[in-house]
A and B are shown apart, each in its own frame.
Chain A
Amino acid sequence: MSLLTRVLKFRSAGKAGPAGVEPEEAPGVRPRLFWSLWPRSDRDAGDAVTSNFLLHWFPAKVSKSSMAWSYSFWLGTITAALFLLLTLSGLPLLFLYVPSVERAYQSVKDIEYVITFGRWLRAVHRVAAHAMVITVVLHLARVFFTGAYKNGIARNQQRQWNWVIGVVMLLLTLFLSFTGYLLPWDQLAFWAVTVGTNIASAIPGIGPTVRELLIGGRAIEQATLIRFYVLHIFFLPAGVGVLFAYHMWRVRKDGGLARADREEIAETPRDVAASPTKTYTLLGVARGTSPTVTARSLEAPGTSVNAVPDLMRRAMIATLGTIAVISILSVFIASPLEEPANALITPNPAKAPWYFLWLQEIVTDTTIHLGSFTINGAFIGGVVLPGLLIGLLTVWPWIDKSPRQVTGDWFPRERRTQNLVFIAVLVGILLLTYIGMELRGPYWEWFWPWEAWPTVPGRI
Chain B
Amino acid sequence: MTEKNRRDFLITLGTGAGVCALGAQGVASLRSLVPNVSYDAPTTVKLGPPAEFPDGLKFLADERLFIFRDGNTFHAVSAVCTHLGCTVRAEALPRPETATVGGSPMRLTHQFSCPCHGSHYTGDGTNVSGPAPKPLAWFRLSVATDDGQLVVDLADEVDRDFRLTV
- Is the C-beta of B29 less than 8 angstroms from some C-beta in chain A? no
Query: How distant is B4 from chain A, measured CB to nearest CB, in Å?
Result: 36
**Neighbouring A residues of B120 by C-beta, 8 Å:** 443
- Is the C-beta of A191 less than 8 angstroms from some C-beta in chain B? yes
User: Which chain B residues (35-66) contact chain A, with CB distance < 8 Å?
Assistant: 35, 38-41, 59, 61-62, 64
Contact A443 B84 (CB under 8 A): no
- Is the C-beta of B141 less than 8 angstroms from some C-beta in chain A? no
Contact A364 B130 (CB under 8 A): yes
Q: Find A217's partner among B38, B64, B118 (CB 8 Å cutoff).
A: B38
**Neighbouring B residues of A445 by C-beta, 8 Å:** 118
- Is the C-beta of A344 less than 8 angstroms from some C-beta in chain B? yes
Q: Find B131's partner among A191, A364, A457 (CB 8 Å cutoff).
A: A364
- Is the C-beta of B126 less than 8 angstroms from some C-beta in chain A? no
- Is the C-beta of A442 less than 8 angstroms from some C-beta in chain B? yes
Contact A191 B132 (CB under 8 A): no
A364-B118, A365-B131, A445-B118 given as contacts; is B40 within 8 A of A217 (CB)?
Answer: yes
C-alpha spacing A360/B117, complex, angstroms:
7
**Neighbouring A residues of B160 by C-beta, 8 Å:** none
- Is the C-beta of B116 less than 8 angstroms from some C-beta in chain A? yes
Contact A374 B115 (CB under 8 A): no
C-alpha spacing A444/B118, complex, angstroms:
5
Interface size bucket, B side?
20 to 34
Contact A443 B34 (CB under 8 A): no
Contact with B along A167-203 (1 / 0, CB 8 A): 0000000000000000000000001001100110010
- Is the C-beta of B14 less than 8 angstroms from some C-beta in chain A? no
- Is the C-beta of A345 less than 8 angstroms from some C-beta in chain B? yes
C-alpha spacing A378/B86, complex, angstroms:
13
Query: How distant is A448 from chain B, measured CB to nearest CB, in Å?
Result: 16
Contact A198 B84 (CB under 8 A): yes
**Neighbouring B residues of A382 by C-beta, 8 Å:** 84
Contact A376 B87 (CB under 8 A): no
Contact B83 A378 (CB under 8 A): yes
- Is the C-beta of B90 less than 8 angstroms from some C-beta in chain A? yes
Contact with B along A144-156 (1 / 0, CB 8 A): 0000000000000
Query: How distant is A366 from chain B, measured CB to nearest CB, in Å?
Result: 7
Measured CB to CB, the nearest residue on chain A to B62 is: A344
**Neighbouring A residues of B39 by C-beta, 8 Å:** 217, 221
Q: Find A194's partner among B41, B84, B90 (CB 8 Å cutoff).
A: B84
- Is the C-beta of A348 less than 8 angstroms from some C-beta in chain B? yes
Contact B41 A374 (CB under 8 A): no
**Neighbouring A residues of B115 by C-beta, 8 Å:** 346-350, 442-444
A213-B33, A346-B87 given as contacts; is B131 within 8 A of A443 (CB)?
Answer: no
**Neighbouring A residues of B87 by C-beta, 8 Å:** 344-346
C-alpha spacing A389/B87, complex, angstroms:
30
A217-B38, A378-B84 given as contacts; is B59 within 8 A of A191 (CB)?
Answer: no
Query: How distant is A168 from chain B, measured CB to nearest CB, in Å?
Result: 21
C-alpha spacing A264/B108, complex, angstroms:
76
- Is the C-beta of A412 less than 8 angstroms from some C-beta in chain B? no
C-alpha spacing A349/B89, complex, angstroms:
11
**Neighbouring B residues of A381 by C-beta, 8 Å:** 131
- Is the C-beta of B114 less than 8 angstroms from some C-beta in chain A? yes
Query: How distant is B63 from chain A, measured CB to nearest CB, in Å?
Result: 10
Q: Find A344's partner among B34, B64, B83, B134 (CB 8 Å cutoff).
A: B64
Query: How distant is B157 from chain A, measured CB to nearest CB, in Å?
Result: 16
Contact A219 B40 (CB under 8 A): yes
User: Which chain A residues (318-359) contact chain B, with CB distance < 8 Å?
Assistant: 343-350
- Is the C-beta of B26 less than 8 angstroms from some C-beta in chain A? no
**Neighbouring A residues of B130 by C-beta, 8 Å:** 364, 367, 444
Contact A444 B34 (CB under 8 A): no
**Neighbouring A residues of B16 by C-beta, 8 Å:** none
C-alpha spacing A427/B33, complex, angstroms:
40
- Is the C-beta of B85 less than 8 angstroms from some C-beta in chain A? yes
User: Which chain A residues (419-449) contact chain B, with CB distance < 8 Å?
Assistant: 440, 442-445
Query: How distant is B80 from chain A, measured CB to nearest CB, in Å?
Result: 10
Measured CB to CB, the nearest residue on chain A to B66 is: A460
Query: How distant is B139 from chain A, measured CB to nearest CB, in Å?
Result: 16
User: Can you give 19 contacting A-B residue pairs, CB < 8 Å?
Assistant: A194-B86, A195-B85, A212-B35, A213-B33, A213-B34, A218-B40, A344-B62, A346-B115, A349-B115, A350-B115, A364-B117, A367-B130, A367-B131, A374-B133, A376-B133, A378-B83, A382-B84, A443-B120, A444-B116
Binding site for A on B (CB under 8 A): 33-35, 38-41, 59, 61-62, 64, 82-87, 89-90, 113-118, 120, 130-134
Considering the complex of A and B, which 9 residue pairs feature the smallest CB-CB distances, nearest first? A444-B118, A348-B115, A344-B61, A367-B131, A377-B131, A364-B117, A376-B133, A198-B84, A374-B133
Known: A195-B116, A199-B84, A444-B114. 9 other contacts (CB 8 A): A217-B39, A348-B89, A360-B117, A363-B83, A364-B130, A366-B131, A376-B133, A443-B113, A457-B89
